[in-house]
Copies of this chain bind each other. A is one copy, B any other.
Amino acid sequence: MPTSRLEAFSDGVFAIAITVLVLGIAAPVHTDHLLVRLLDLWPSYLGYVLSFLLIGLLWVNHHVMFEHIVHSDRLLMFVNVLLLMFVAFVPFVTAVLASTFRTGDDQSIAVVAYGLVLTLAGFMYNAMWVHARHGGLMDSTVTDAGVQRIRRRIRFGPLMYLFGAAVGYFVPILGIVVFAGLILFYWLPIPQLNAAGEKIGMR
């Protein structure tokens, strides 16, 4: 079974999850002192930017993986649905996170919840990659170096998200900094470690 409809469906879920983030920010009901009211929503804007870049990034990584995965089976689809289940849950934990930074209560809980959802999503990437390699779902032209590069890339994710959650449990704002740092790190180009050629270097 080719992966085209799986990719289209996943693209849809990524696109919707990223776009409904904005629905989590309620427009002020009263509009007197509007500037103050809008500025008071800063944790929501911060959460919006963080989660938008994050989901965008998860989408890019999905994209990169499915350049190499060219067949699908039922297990791959199942793990992919689990992955999307955590991605689509991000708007909820984002809203919770923003709420706690507005009220000042229990930010640590919200950061941990946010980090755990990311960790689980990251874990699913690894599960998909392992299954695709051992289940013969990869493009036959992919090189070992290419496989290793992506593996290193996606293996790092869930560990660091878990680290961010742990740090955030003690110092919430530091957990956010870890997540933001990770997102920026991932958006950087992949270092050119081998001779896999121009196409990889473009990424």
Binding site for B on A (CB under 8 A): 1, 5, 7-9, 11-25, 27-35, 38, 48-49, 52-53, 56-57, 59-60, 63, 67, 71, 73-75, 77-78, 81, 84-85, 88-89, 91-92, 95-96, 99-100, 103, 105-106, 109-110, 113, 187-190, 199, 202-203
Contacts and interface: CB of A to CB of B under 8 A. Distances in A.
Contacts of A52: 81, 84-85, 88
Given A22-B91, A88-B22, A56 B31 contact: no
A41 B170 CA distance: 24
B99 A27 contact: yes
Contacts of A95: 27
A84 B32 contact: no
B105 A34 contact: yes
A92 B48 CA distance: 12
A28 B85 contact: no
B110 A31 contact: yes
